[in-house]
Every structure is written in C-alpha cells, then in structure tokens.
Chain A
Amino acid sequence: GQNIDQPTEMTATEGAIVQINCTYQTSGFNGLFWYQQHAGEAPTFLSYNVLDGLEEKGRFSSFLSRSKGYSYLLLKELQMKDSASYLCAVMDSNYQLIWGAGTKLIIKP
C-alpha cells in the first residue's frame, strides 16, 4: 500500500530552526510537495521537489532523497506565525497526490 509518515506534532522556539521529516512509500514517484495549513484554512503551497537535493526558498528549505524515500522541510528563524500544520504529499505514478497526516508545529516564545 501507499504510505506517508510524518511526526504528529513538534514544538520549537521562536527564532530557532526546526526540521520536519517525511518518509514515503508510494507506487511510483512524480514529485513531493510541502504545504502549510493554518487552523481552519486551506493549505498553501510551500515547495515541490522532484530531483534529489535541497531547494531553498527564503526561510524555508526542502530536501529530497528519492533512494531513501525521504524528505524534510527546514524552517529557519522561526516566527510565531509559522505555527501551523505542515503537510507532506507525494504524487504517485498516476499523478494522484497521496497526503500525509500532517505535522502540527507549535512555536513557543
């Protein structure tokens, strides 16, 4: 079956760095997405990785290792507004998105 695993909840301090991991087992691979979702709102797109390596976009970076079925989202200089759920999603061979359950990130002052 297809499976995406990410931690349920993480806590970090304002100004610090946090890494949210995602491992996946899917039938085929056509890219991995990270989305941010604030409570009661729809997800917003953060990043898309289809090749191995690190993609940096401002305070957020996303890394992918296809051989290991592994990705992480790195958030630097954490701000209180970064408190949200972070969803990992993989596009499989049928171009369907398989969603992880999301990681709730709590930022403390």
Chain B
Amino acid sequence: GAVVSQHPSRVICKSGTSVKIECRSLDFQATTMFWYRQFPKQSLMLMATSNEGSKATYEQGVEKDKFLINHASLTLSTLTVTSAHPEDSSFYICSATIPKKGSFSYEQYFGPGTRLTVT
C-alpha cells in the first residue's frame, strides 16, 4: 500500500519557538494532503487541506498565520507551528489521497503522526 511518512515523530520545544513538521508521500504523488490535529481522547480534527502549488484551505477556527502550510511538491507538505504555546501541544497527523484518473480516490493514507509538546 501507499506510504506516508512524517518527520519528526516527536518534538519538544519551548514556548515562543516555531516547529516545522514534514509530511512525505514515499511511493506516490499526492496532489492533496490533509493536516489533522488530535487532542488526547478526542477524534481527529481537520485543520487544513493542502493542494500542491496553491494556498492551503483552512478550516474554520484554525489560524492560518499560526499554522503555515506549504505544499511545495507532489510528495512534500510542511506544517509550521509558529510561536508555539503550550496549548498547541497535540498529535499532528497528515494524510494523502492517491489521485486516480477519471474517479475520486477516497482512501486516505495517514502518516505516523508527530507528537508536539510545548513547554
């Protein structure tokens, strides 16, 4: 099956610093990637949809100036948490869909996630 990687898997940073999380599709080209956040014991919350070569579409309530998304190539999307605060501590997960000609591909492949702790 398709493989999506994320780096780093865990990061601890100090309040006020910025953190960049990378999401890569290893064996396919992903025109669309999704960024999710998950707080403990809660379901996934979609933060933004990232399309290669264009600006990301953010969900309501997600600050686009705080969570910078760059989908620079068909295999890489990055999420930068700027001026991180303790309340940004969460599990961040990316996913990608495989484009299929003539139809929608509904299956999402998830990266392993990045656990961010802001102290």
Contacts and interface: CB of A to CB of B under 8 A. Distances in A.
Contacts of B95: 42
B2 to A, nearest CB: 10
A48 B106 contact: yes
A99 B39 CA distance: 14
Nearest to A97: B46
Given A87-B44, A101-B43, A102-B43, A40 B106 contact: no
Nearest to B108: A45
Contact of B106 (A44, A87, A91, A100): A91
Interface string A83-109: 000010001000111011110000000
Contacts of A91: 106
B106 A30 contact: yes
B10 to A, nearest CB: 10
Nearest to B92: A42
Interface residues of A, number: 20
B108 A97 contact: yes
A33 B113 CA distance: 19
Interface string B92-115: 010100000000101111111101
Contacts, number: 42
B42 A101 contact: yes
Contacts of A99: 43-46
B81 to A, nearest CB: 18
A31 interface: yes
8 contacts: A42-B93, A43-B93, A44-B110, A45-B110, A48-B107, A87-B43, A99-B44, A100-B43
Interface in A29-48: 30-31, 33, 40-45, 48
Interface in B50-109: 91, 93, 95, 104, 106-109
